[in-house]
Amino acid sequence: MSSQPINRPGMGILFICIGILAISVNDLLIKTLSGGYPLHQMVFVRSAIGLLFTLAFVRMEGGLRILKTNRPGLHLMRGLLVVLANMTFYAAVAVLPLGQATALFFVAPLFITLLAIPVLGEKVGALRLGAVIIGFLGVVVMQEPWAADTETARAVMLLPVAAAAFYAVMQVLTRRLGMTTAASALAVYIQGTFLVISALFYLVAGDGRFAEGVSNESLVFLLRAWVVPDSGDWLTFLGLGLCAGGVGYCLSAAYRMANAATIAPFEYIGLPLAILWGWLFFGEWPSAATWAGCVLIIGSGLFVFLREQKRKAPLPGRRTRWGRR
């Protein structure tokens, strides 16, 4: 496989949109199951099912030979980062409204845009940096720190922000690894890491002994005992697996194919989706501060993208494919 960076922003944008839709459905399903199952059990079942679908993509992209890598350390680091991002985010989802948790997490694309400068050497101008600052302001507004009355509430509200930091570093690594690794191979490494970590979690805490006497709902979600799923929940677990396969492939493909600072703003579509699911399934309606933050974040993300496209616009009379940079 060529070591030259792939530059297909149109396809990158398509893949990121499909991947974020799958993530939003995944978040909905996990929140639905969070009252009766531990997170590591959901992750194990989801990853086992998702791995089967991902291996089908591996076959289409060249077979098992594409799984060979000379950079196992970076792949391991990437896998551990996404595991940490999932654990911290879903620990918050079990307690916070889905829209609020997602809103807090949306500092991630802003982190990605900033990390792309020193890590990938991507150029981000002053106007785009200003838009990023406005986006961070929107995230602060959506957190409503003045409404957190206890230390526990403040800690829970920081979990999605921590998840965002882990996720941002992971996606920047994806761009670097994507120069020589197929998207399906990247997804296999992620699913494999999830399986190993969740299995180890089961061996250590699967009997629920660490959840005894714990009152914090986020910790209970992480530490409660494994249980045999009810017959009516197996379809939900299957849905988690399908989402896992789609997310792993689509996000890996997106960050392989396009400049991170260009496609990162499209992750913001997850915000209105989370608000929609929260309203439809859990009766959660955002506060005025949440809506104000949405405007700031989505507005800054759109500005970043439009500014990038204007900066890379073709000369008059020059014909190029849409989105080509």
CB 175 within 8 A of CB 48: no
Question: For position 22, what pLDDT does the model report?
Answer: 92
Q: What is the pLDDT of residue 180?
A: 61
C-alpha dihedral, 12 to 191 to 198 to 271, nearest 10°: 20
CA distances from 214 to 53, 94, 202, 235 (A): 37, 15, 18, 30
The pLDDT of residue 313 is: 46
pLDDT, residue 310, reads 66
In this prediction, residue 37 carries a pLDDT of 93
Question: Cα separation of 15 and 57, whole Å?
Answer: 14
Q: Cα-Cα-Cα-Cα dihedral of 6, 26, 288, 307, to 10°?
A: 10
Q: What is the pLDDT of residue 281?
A: 93
Question: Among residues 109, 82, 43, which one has the least CA distance to residue 270?
Answer: 109
Q: Tell me the per-residue pLDDT of 105-148, one tens digit each, with 9 for 90 and over.
A: 877 777 877 887 877 677 777 888 888 889 888 877 877 767 65
How far apart are the C-alpha atoms of 261 and 115, rounded to whole Å?
Answer: 9
Ranges of each domain in the chain: 9-311
How many angstroms separate the CA atoms of 73 and 79, rounded?
Answer: 10
Question: Please, which residues have CB within 8 angstroms of residue 123's CB and are 6 or more apart in sequence?
Answer: 117
Whole-angstrom Cα distance, residue 169 to residue 119?
9
**Under 8 Å CB-to-CB from 313, ≥6 apart: which residues?**
none
CB-CB contact of 253 with 261 (8 Å): no
pLDDT at 197: 92
Residues in the chain, total: 325
Task: Kindly list the distances between the CA atom of residue 89 and the CA atoms of 44, 63, 304, 315, in Å, as whole numbers in the listed order.
Answer: 17, 33, 25, 44
Q: How far apart are CA 157 and CA 196, in angstroms?
A: 28
DSSP state of 34: T
| pLDDT at site 3 | 47
Residues of the chain with confidence (pLDDT) below 70: 1-6, 120, 145, 147-154, 174-181, 260-261, 264, 305, 308-325
d(CA 167, CA 187): 14
- The predicted structure's pLDDT at residue 177: 60
Task: State the pLDDT at residue 118.
Answer: 78
DSSP states of 111-135: HHHHHHHHHH-----HHHHHHHHHH
